[in-house]
């Protein structure tokens, strides 16, 4: 029985992808030991499922599709550069999401509930929508340039992200990083589909 690493996400616009590329290009020059996200892989994660039996993917797509169908399209503002878990000891560098109207939070709740029906446990931590740009794999002392860049861009605005669709991906790891393949998806308010393999 084959299992595939699976996650549910929102695709980003070319504008947001380009903004992510610019941030990475600047930080790459001053920050060592970071595995940067390849431009084509930049996305907004709704839910990471982990290893999923391939035979269950159609059920995942069906349930996620039902969650997407019950909502309408909306827009988000991408704003700020931040770090998890804290600025003084960052492990993840990311672009922030302004969800003032709560549309993203509600979509996440629907998706979370849809896959919990299939046995995927809900996250214990409160969901905080963000776009991962890089993961720090090793530390080379305190990186003052990284910290200053994040402080300088704490309120920077990078553009609008129109959310029209939820997509299910599987991820295959390789030496040059993960490669994502679309399993299925559903437009918000639309009909779900699953890709033919």
Q: What pLDDT, in 10s, does the model give residues 28-67?
A: 988 888 999 999 999 999 999 999 999 999 999 999 999 9
Confidence of residue 141 (pLDDT cuts 50, 70, 90): very low
**pLDDT value of residue 90:** 86
Please compute the mean of the pLDDT values over residues 158-172 and round it to a whole number: 95
Are 161 and 16 a contacting pair, CB within 8 Å?
yes
Percent of the chain with pLDDT over 90: 75
**pLDDT value of residue 54:** 93
**pLDDT value of residue 139:** 62
Distance CA 60, CA 115 (A): 7
Distance CA 144, CA 7 (A): 34
Tokens (6 digits) for 51: 């290893």
Domains of the chain: 3-194 (3.90.1140.10)
Per residue in 78-103, pLDDT (tens digit) is: 999 999 888 888 899 999 999 999 99
Are 138 and 53 a contacting pair, CB within 8 Å?
no
The pTM of this model reads 0.91
Tokens (6 digits) for 74: 């909306």
Per residue in 8-30, pLDDT (tens digit) is: 999 999 999 999 999 999 999 88
Are 184 and 61 a contacting pair, CB within 8 Å?
yes
């Amino acid at each position: 029985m084959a299992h595939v690493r699976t996650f549910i996400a929102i695709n980003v616009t070319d504008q947001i992808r380009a903004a992510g590329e610019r941030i990475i290009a600047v930080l790459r020059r001053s920050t060592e030991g970071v595995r940067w996200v390849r431009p084509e892989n930049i996305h907004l994660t709704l839910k990471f499922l982990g290893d999923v039996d391939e035979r269950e993917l159609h059920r995942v797509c069906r349930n996620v599709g039902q969650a997407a169908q019950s909502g309408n399209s909306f827009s988000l503002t991408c704003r700020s550069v931040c770090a998890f878990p804290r600025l003084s000891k960052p492990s993840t560098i990311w672009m922030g999401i302004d969800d003032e109207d709560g549309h993203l939070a509600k979509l996440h709740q629907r998706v979370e509930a849809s896959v919990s029906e299939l046995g995927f446990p809900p996250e214990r931590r409160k969901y905080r929508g963000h776009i991962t740009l890089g993961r720090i794999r090793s530390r080379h002392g305190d990186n003052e340039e990284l910290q200053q860049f994040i402080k300088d861009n704490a309120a920077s605005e990078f553009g609008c992200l129109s959310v029209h669709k939820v997509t299910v991906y599987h991820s295959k790891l390789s030496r040059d990083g993960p490669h994502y393949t679309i399993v299925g998806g559903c437009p918000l308010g639309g009909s779900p589909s699953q890709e033919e393999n």
